């Protein structure tokens, strides 16, 4: 009988839980891939499927290795965990770097903020200027119906209620714009001329709209980065338990389930004495 190992038990239960949790993640990705017609939702399907299958495979390897003392499965499990830790470290550092800055400018007398492209990192600016990325982002903005929620607001509502970054940048002209008869007056920001009151135009082509999307990305990335830090801590703990379980699995396959007797390295006859003692002890217990 294999000796009882607390680390194996912990790793086994942890990976059983994550294995079961990967099933709804994969199911959600398959559902989005099959039945979703929204551009925003379809963007999520590939990350969901990849994350779900990676978690499933890693958890399966860790569960089998820890519970059945399969050393090679635990070796693969530990390698995958270390790669995940390195990947999360890299993406967390990258996320904090590209989302530096931003935050918007508070408008005097208004509860909302306005956003400017120049406040964000050059990588994020180039990302949004590329039409390959901007078109699906704009389709997501239009499909979210964020502007429809404030289309009946009065001027008093803008003085009393806050706006999301997308509503502030895409659903209204900049607050500094001045109009006469529906036309901009004098030299003003280019966005003042791009604004149109038509529901399908609004300020969707404004730089402020791109800035609002970038601010939303910045906020979401900060939340994901905080979550990544928590996950990193959990993965490091699991990796430590996995190292112990890997050592235990190797010991359970050797003639010394409780570890090698160091005295055998000094005197080979200790091997025989140790084996006799361990056999007699087992007979007394069983």
Domain with 10, as residue range(s), is 1-68
Residue 98 lies in a domain: no
**Is 34 in the same domain as 132?**
no
pLDDT of residue 35: 46
**Is 60 in the same domain as 156?**
no
Q: Give the span between the Cα atoms of 228 and 219, in whole angstroms.
A: 14
Q: Give the span between the Cα atoms of 74 and 58, in whole angstroms.
A: 10
**Is 201 in the same domain as 137?**
yes
Task: Name beta bridge partners: 183.
Answer: 180
**Is 159 in the same domain as 208?**
yes
pLDDT confidence bin for 14, thresholds 50/70/90: low
pLDDT at 238 over 90: no
Residue 9 lies in a domain: yes
Q: Coil, strand, or helix at residue 69?
A: coil
pLDDT at 100 over 90: no
Q: What percent of the chain is modeled with pLDDT above 90?
A: 19
**Is 60 in the same domain as 119?**
no
Q: Coil, strand, or helix at residue 274?
A: helix
Residue 20 lies in a domain: yes
CB 191 within 8 A of CB 172: no
**Is 123 in the same domain as 194?**
yes
Q: What is the mean pLDDT of residues 192-214?
A: 92
pLDDT of residue 102: 84
pLDDT confidence bin for 52, thresholds 50/70/90: low
Q: At what angle do helices 131-144 and 39-68 cross, to 10 degrees?
A: 100
pLDDT of residue 184: 85
Which of 65, 84, 81 has the alpha carbon at shortest distance from 12?
Answer: 65
Residue 182 lies in a domain: no
Instruction: Residue 36: count other Cβ atoms within 10 Å of its Cβ.
Output: 14
177 CB contacts (<8 Å, ≥6 apart)? 184, 188, 189, 191, 192, 195
Instruction: Residue 206: count other Cβ atoms within 10 Å of its Cβ.
Output: 22
pLDDT confidence bin for 97, thresholds 50/70/90: confident
pLDDT of residue 77: 72
Residue 84 lies in a domain: no
Residue 248 lies in a domain: no
Which of 40, 68, 96 corresponds to the end of one domain? Answer: 68
**Is 116 in the same domain as 169?**
yes
Which of 12, 47, 68 corresponds to the end of one domain? Answer: 68
Which of 15, 40, 68 corresponds to the end of one domain? Answer: 68
**Is 129 in the same domain as 195?**
yes
pLDDT of residue 264: 44
**Is 130 in the same domain as 199?**
yes
Q: What is the mean pLDDT of residues 10-23?
A: 67
Residue 73 lies in a domain: no
Q: Is the dihedral of CA 249, 251, 257, 258 positive or negative?
A: negative
Residue 148 lies in a domain: yes
Q: What percent of the chain is modeled with pLDDT above 70?
A: 63
**Is 144 in the same domain as 207?**
yes
Q: In the chain, how many domains are there?
A: 2
CB 95 within 8 A of CB 86: no
**Is 140 in the same domain as 206?**
yes
**Is 135 in the same domain as 205?**
yes
């Amino acid at each position: 009988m294999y000796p009882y190992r607390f680390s194996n038990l912990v790793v086994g239960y942890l990976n059983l839980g994550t294995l079961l949790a990967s099933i709804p993640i994969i199911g959600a990705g398959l559902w989005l891939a099959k039945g979703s017609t929204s551009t925003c939702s379809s963007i999520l399907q590939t990350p969901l499927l990849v994350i779900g299958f990676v978690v499933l495979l890693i958890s399966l390897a860790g569960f089998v290795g820890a519970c059945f003392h399969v050393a090679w499965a635990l070796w693969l499990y530990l390698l995958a965990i270390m790669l995940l830790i390195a990947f999360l470290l890299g993406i967390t550092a990258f996320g904090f770097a590209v989302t530096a800055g931003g935050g918007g400018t508070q408008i005097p007398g208004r509860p909302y903020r306005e956003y400017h492209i120049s406040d964000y990192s050059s990588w994020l600016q180039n990302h949004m200027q590329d039409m390959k990325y901007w078109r699906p982002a704009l389709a997501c903005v239009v499909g979210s119906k964020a502007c429809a929620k404030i289309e009946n607001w009065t001027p008093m509502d803008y003085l009393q209620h806050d706006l999301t970054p997308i509503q502030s940048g895409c659903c209204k002209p900049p607050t500094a714009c001045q109009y006469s008869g529906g036309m901009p007056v004098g030299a003003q920001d280019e966005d003042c001329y791009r604004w149109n009151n038509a529901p399908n135009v609004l300020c969707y082509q404004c730089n402020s709209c791109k800035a609002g999307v970038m601010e939303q990305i910045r906020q979401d990335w900060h939340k994901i980065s905080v979550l990544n830090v928590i996950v990193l801590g959990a993965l490091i703990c699991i990796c430590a338990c996995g190292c112990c379980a890997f050592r235990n699995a190797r010991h359970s396959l050797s003639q010394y389930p409780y570890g090698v007797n160091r005295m055998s390295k000094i005197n080979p006859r200790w091997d025989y004495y140790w084996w006799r003692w361990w056999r007699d002890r087992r007979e007394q217990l069983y």
